């Protein structure tokens, strides 16, 4: 692993919250960042108390200097398929050495990959939590099963199913 920083968008954090894994995710041995504008405007289902708890556990919310705001605006003009908020996540990861982008947004993922940014999604995050043993296997299994049954979860079902089977095998040993 060459990264030390995970820059997250809101979609992955919402799914982690929904599956009660946010605390475990924030227990990973990495710096976890998100843009301030995303934290303030996109996490509407998260209470202020929960947000504060995330900050207390180590989530870092980054403010943007003027030149990075201009850069995000320029990316938005050049790439109209991205939202304003997505552009801030892209700029944040671009300005951090050894950072990866953690997103469930296919347009942001595609754009970032074309720019040479390492990108991963929620399944990678679940596997990372298992690898670093910040969460019990049965809790991860329960989360994967919830995601498989959630009609709003836009995750690759085949990959989720493979992870589910692997976790089941581990709980039997």
What's the pLDDT at 172?
78
**Separation of alpha carbons 4 and 2, rounded Å:** 7
Mean pLDDT of 56-79: 95
Checking DSSP bridges between strand 60-62 and strand 31-35, what pairing results, if any? parallel
pLDDT in tens, 79-119: 999 999 999 999 999 999 889 999 999 999 999 999 999 99
pLDDT in tens, 2-30: 679 999 999 999 999 999 999 999 999 99
pLDDT in tens, 130-165: 999 999 999 999 999 999 999 888 889 999 999 999
DSSP 49-111: HHHHHHHHHT-EEE---HHHHHHHHHHHHH-TTS-HHHHHHHHHHHTSTTEEEE---HHHHHH
Nearest 5°: CA angle at 13, between 112 and 46? 135
**Separation of alpha carbons 8 and 102, rounded Å:** 5
The percentage of residues in the chain with a pLDDT greater than 70, rounded to a whole number, is 98
Contact present, 32 and 6 (Cβ < 8 Å): yes
Which pLDDT band holds residue 173 (cuts at 50, 70, 90)? Answer: low
DSSP category for residue 146: H
**Separation of alpha carbons 93 and 99, rounded Å:** 6
**Separation of alpha carbons 73 and 82, rounded Å:** 11
What structural domains does the chain harbor?
5-122 (3.40.50.1010), 124-171 (no CATH)
What's the pLDDT at 3?
72
What's the pLDDT at 128?
95
């Amino acid at each position: 692993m060459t990264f030390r920083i995970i820059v997250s968008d809101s979609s992955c954090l919402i799914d982690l919250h929904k599956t009660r894994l946010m605390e475990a995710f924030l227990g990973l041995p990495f710096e976890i960042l998100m843009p301030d504008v995303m934290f303030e405007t996109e996490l509407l289902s998260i209470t202020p108390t929960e947000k504060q708890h995330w900050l207390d556990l180590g989530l870092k919310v980054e403010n943007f200097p003027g030149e990075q705001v201009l850069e995000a605006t320029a990316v938005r003009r050049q790439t109209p398929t991205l939202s304003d908020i997505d552009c801030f996540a892209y700029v944040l990861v671009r300005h951090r050495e050894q950072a990866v982008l953690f997103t469930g947004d296919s347009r942001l993922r595609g754009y970032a990959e074309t720019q040479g940014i390492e990108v991963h999604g929620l399944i990678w995050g679940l596997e990372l939590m298992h690898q670093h043993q910040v969460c019990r296997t049965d809790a991860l299994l329960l989360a994967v099963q919830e995601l498989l049954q959630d009609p709003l979860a836009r995750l690759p079902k085949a990959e989720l199913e493979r992870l589910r089977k692997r976790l089941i095998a581990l709980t039997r040993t």
